[in-house]
Structure 1
């Protein structure tokens, strides 16, 4: 899940959670945060495995994707500096991740165990509010992505992506951007040629 877009790289996980809550977060000094380094091309986590963590991208770019049995890849989203993500299905007790995450660029992340956040939310309304607003924001992003896939043609999806993510579109390999848009790399080249000023 990606909760924020285009935040500066110096933003930290606790900063974002506190901004979501709109107030100080009690017991935040006891939260166990771990720095994680992922090299370009390396998998951070795979589907069908327990992974109850939430990540903040401090630096870099990752793709969240589904791998089909035949080797096809469907990219659901990208996460870059200042964005949260995690697998919602893995954030419940006994849950498993529903997708894979791979670094597109060398990346540095902060990681927190979701069950720590859940325990804090059970004790403190501020933490509960932060998690609620994070999930609310995630739902809005997911709804916007579904709307694009269901109502826009590939050319419109590309134009909307570039408008919302101008710098990101230059950082992505063409094949990854094509898979995100649901087109072939050849189709993406044609779309780019038609839209070029």
Structure 2
């Protein structure tokens, strides 16, 4: 299991670099692998966690905690995806969110300082790092656009189009937190869209 997870992280980084990664073993020897049960926390908001995580198996949620103790779900990361808290990657920084397993999960944790050292020496590592940051920025920009420009029904339609499997893997309460609405509002949206579908009308396409 551990070697499989490390191998998956290697494959992901090489796909970002579009080349072989020199001195891979320097990082591989420092990778830790976590097996997590549903509800288990990888790290909490405010923790020093200067690492990049690659999800080898399962599903995790990235969570902001409000002052009243309630959650707001930033995103779900499925197998094959990766994430990091940019604030925690800075020297002396801490994470701005928490990470919790939704399903039994296996996570490969790559120390960011080692990645930086390798990027200082090798162009393929620089390219992998740059493309990872570009991907992260694009994902964050898309998420912000959805929250700021789409109403709840359209955000739900978009979820249906892009990640329909989440509807069977994630409890409705957590889907509502991700969409920024209450579970009651989500139930009403689903019921209304179900009636529209039964009436034979075509739902608008979200571009």
- 1:30 to partner: Cα distance: 2.2
SS of the equivalent of 2:165 reads helix
Corresponding residue of 1:26: 22
Does the 8 A contact of 1:11 with 1:58 survive in 2?
A: no
| Greater relative CO (CA pairs within 8 A, separation 6+) | 1
| Alignment partner of 1:195 is 2:193 | yes
Alignment match of 1:104 (pick from 97, 102, 111): 102
Separation in structure 2 between the aligned mates of residue 110 and residue 169 of structure 1, nearest angstrom = 26
| Alignment partner of 1:14 is 2:10 | yes
Separation in structure 1 between the aligned mates of residue 23 and residue 193 of structure 2, nearest angstrom = 51
Structure 1's unaligned 5+ residue stretches are 1-8
Does the 8 A contact of 1:11 with 1:82 survive in 2?
A: no
In the TM superposition, structure 1's runs of 4+ consecutive aligned residues that sit over 6 Å from their partners are none
SS of the equivalent of 2:192 reads helix
Larger radius of gyration: 2
RMSD: 1.4
Compared CA separation, residues 41 and 128, structure 1 to 2 (3 A): same
Separation in structure 2 between the aligned mates of residue 65 and residue 37 of structure 1, nearest angstrom = 19
Alignment match of 1:152 (pick from 150, 153, 157): 150
| Alignment partner of 1:171 is 2:204 | no
Alignment match of 2:87 (pick from 79, 86, 89): 89
SS of the equivalent of 2:53 reads strand
Separation in structure 2 between the aligned mates of residue 71 and residue 30 of structure 1, nearest angstrom = 40
Q: TM-score, normalised by structure 2?
A: 0.88
Separation in structure 2 between the aligned mates of residue 33 and residue 82 of structure 1, nearest angstrom = 16
Separation in structure 1 between the aligned mates of residue 143 and residue 184 of structure 2, nearest angstrom = 23
Separation in structure 2 between the aligned mates of residue 10 and residue 109 of structure 1, nearest angstrom = 9
Does the 8 A contact of 1:50 with 1:95 survive in 2?
A: yes
- 1:10 to partner: Cα distance: 10
Compared CA separation, residues 175 and 148, structure 1 to 2 (3 A): same
Corresponding residue of 1:132: 130
Corresponding residue of 1:35: 33
Corresponding residue of 2:202: none
1:51-73, Cα deviation, whole Å (9 max, x unpaired) = 01111111111110111121121
